[in-house]
């Protein structure tokens, strides 16, 4: 529900609308969460629901008499790519998309609709080639040792299906869809567009990129080093301990200098475009047709494999 009934003027639990940002992964989620946290018209708690960290914060908020803000926000990109380990420590797992992601996406949407039927949904998409490369970067950052083809087992980027799910569950007028490319190219315009739809004032928040992808050299060398470490003739427990330490160093950006050095010694890595299998990209065609009529997507038709006008 959007409103609490029978609340008087100024009641701290009076009315706030609920925005649920559901992803997609690698489409500016970390940036948006920082923006939500700083916006004066938004109540947001990292990892929380409807702007509250837990039930005790709801109680403290009610006791304090703090005026409500216009919007409460839930934000978790995992809703569009649900995994059993969501909320765990990224350095302890390898990010991939194996399994029946379509059914998990459906269950996540239905759970949100059952809990918050009056919410507004925010979905941020990303062009397919860029999404594949950025997702592979995250996979490598968390210890993955395969190439981008590892993502082909199951991909969560059927934008038509996911957007259709949420429009059906919440109503088309309650689903906001925006391209990550607009955030990348014109942060201010992206934010003004979102603010206009929410009816809130301007707030610029953090500037620049957050959580950037690994470099070409890092993408080329980290999987190779990982395979070498996994092949060491050591007891398994010791080998695994060494590998986990190695992944932690990658995750915190402490081995970029090693990758750069190896790249200079061995020769430059192939361009990122060479790492995306055309067949993998072709599988994405026709999964973003619902975006063709949205004005924000006009400049990015090629990113979503839309035909030339």
* Alpha carbon distance 72, 140 (integer Å): 34
Q: How confident is the model at residue 92 (pLDDT cuts 50, 70, 90)?
A: very low
Environment class of residue 283 by beta-carbon count within 10 Å: exposed (0-12), middle (13-18) or buried (19+)? middle
What are 206-222's pLDDT values in tens digits? 766 667 778 888 988 99
237-246 contacts, C-beta under 8 A, 24 or more apart: 243/143, 244/91, 244/92, 246/143
* Alpha carbon distance 28, 44 (integer Å): 16
* pLDDT for residue 6: 41
What are 223-269's pLDDT values in tens digits? 999 999 999 999 999 999 999 999 999 988 899 999 889 888 887 66
* pLDDT for residue 88: 61
Specify the pairing of strand 71-75 against strand 120-125: unpaired
The counts of H helices and E strands in the chain are 11, 5
Percent of the chain with pLDDT over 90: 60
Residue 172 has pLDDT above 80, yes or no: yes
């Amino acid at each position: 529900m959007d409103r609490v009934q029978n609340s008087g003027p100024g009641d701290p639990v009076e009315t706030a609308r609920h925005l649920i940002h559901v992803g997609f992964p690698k489409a500016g989620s970390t940036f948006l969460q920082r923006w939500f946290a700083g916006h004066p018209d938004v109540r947001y708690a990292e990892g929380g629901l409807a702007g509250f960290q837990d039930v005790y914060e709801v109680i403290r908020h009610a006791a304090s008499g703090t005026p409500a803000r216009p919007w409460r926000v839930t934000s978790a990109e995992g809703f569009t790519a649900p995994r059993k380990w969501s909320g765990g420590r990224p350095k302890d797992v390898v990010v991939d998309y194996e399994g029946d992601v379509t059914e998990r996406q459906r269950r996540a949407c239905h759970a949100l609709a059952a809990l918050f039927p009056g919410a507004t949904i925010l979905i941020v998409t990303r062009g397919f080639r860029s999404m594949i490369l950025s997702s592979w970067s995250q996979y490598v950052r968390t210890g993955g040792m395969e190439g981008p083809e590892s993502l082909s087992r199951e991909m969560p980027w059927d934008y038509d299906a996911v957007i259709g799910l949420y429009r059906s569950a919440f109503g088309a007028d309650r689903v906001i869809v925006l391209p990550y490319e607009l955030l990348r190219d014109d942060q201010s315009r992206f934010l003004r567009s979102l603010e206009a739809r929410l009816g809130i004032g301007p707030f610029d928040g953090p500037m620049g990129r957050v959580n950037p992808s690994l470099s070409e050299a890092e993408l080329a060398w980290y999987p190779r080093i990982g395979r070498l470490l996994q092949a060491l003739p050591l007891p398994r427990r010791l080998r695994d301990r060494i590998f986990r330490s190695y992944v932690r160093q990658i995750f915190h950006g402490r081995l970029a200098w090693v990758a750069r050095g190896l790249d200079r010694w061995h020769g430059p890595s192939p361009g990122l475009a060479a790492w995306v299998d055309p067949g993998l990209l072709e599988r994405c065609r026709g999964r973003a047709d619902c975006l063709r009529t949205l004005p924000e997507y006009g400049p990015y038709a090629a990113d979503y494999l839309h035909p030339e006008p």
